[in-house]
């Protein structure tokens, strides 16, 4: 097995737990066989992290700017959802999804005081069987 392969740990734990509960896992060889069967994430599809902010495009509200249909809460530009690595007060880092709206990160109530370190495009949906 290649050491750079990435396995979804929650999926692996569930697989191992089910195998154990069914009496199919009794030795380390059984565990290794289950790990070898586990789906591996393709590193070629792994995010290409970028710095700064993602490019923005016109929002669905853009056409209403400077008209009587423009309402509070509408915005002109957005980047759409991307993956971001954030750092919160205290130094902990997390990976979340976010977008920019009119040049500013939208953010979350849960992440007040956060700092965006890098962003990446969302990966393509899984296409396996």
Structural domains of the chain, count: 2
User: In the 8-state DSSP scheme, what is residue 61?
Assistant: T
Give the residue with greater pLDDT, 114 vs 11: 114
Mean pLDDT computed over 1-21: 71
Structure tokens at 117: 């370190």
* Per-residue pLDDT tens over the stretch 36-84: 777 666 555 567 888 899 999 999 999 999 999 999 999 999 998 999 9
Domain that holds residue 23: 9-44
Q: Considering just the CA atoms, what is the radius of gyration of the chain in Å? A: 21
- Identify whether 70 is part of a domain: yes
Closest CA to 38 of 15, 57, 18: 15
* Residues 62, 37 share a domain: no
Residue 1's pLDDT band (cuts 50, 70, 90): very low
Cα 122 to Cα 17: distance, rounded to the nearest angstrom: 30
């Amino acid at each position: 097995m290649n050491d750079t392969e990435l396995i979804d740990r929650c999926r692996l734990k569930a697989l191992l737990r089910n195998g154990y509960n069914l009496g199919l896992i009794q030795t380390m060889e059984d565990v290794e066989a289950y790990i070898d069967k586990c789906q591996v994430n393709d590193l070629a599809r792994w995010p290409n992290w970028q710095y700064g902010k993602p490019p923005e495009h016109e929002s669905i509200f853009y056409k209403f700017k400077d008209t009587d249909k423009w309402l509070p809460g509408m915005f002109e530009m957005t980047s759409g959802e991307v993956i971001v690595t954030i750092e919160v007060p205290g130094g902990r880092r997390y990976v979340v999804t976010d977008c920019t709206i009119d040049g500013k990160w939208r953010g979350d109530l849960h992440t007040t005081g956060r700092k965006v370190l890098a962003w990446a495009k969302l990966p393509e949906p899984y296409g396996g069987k």
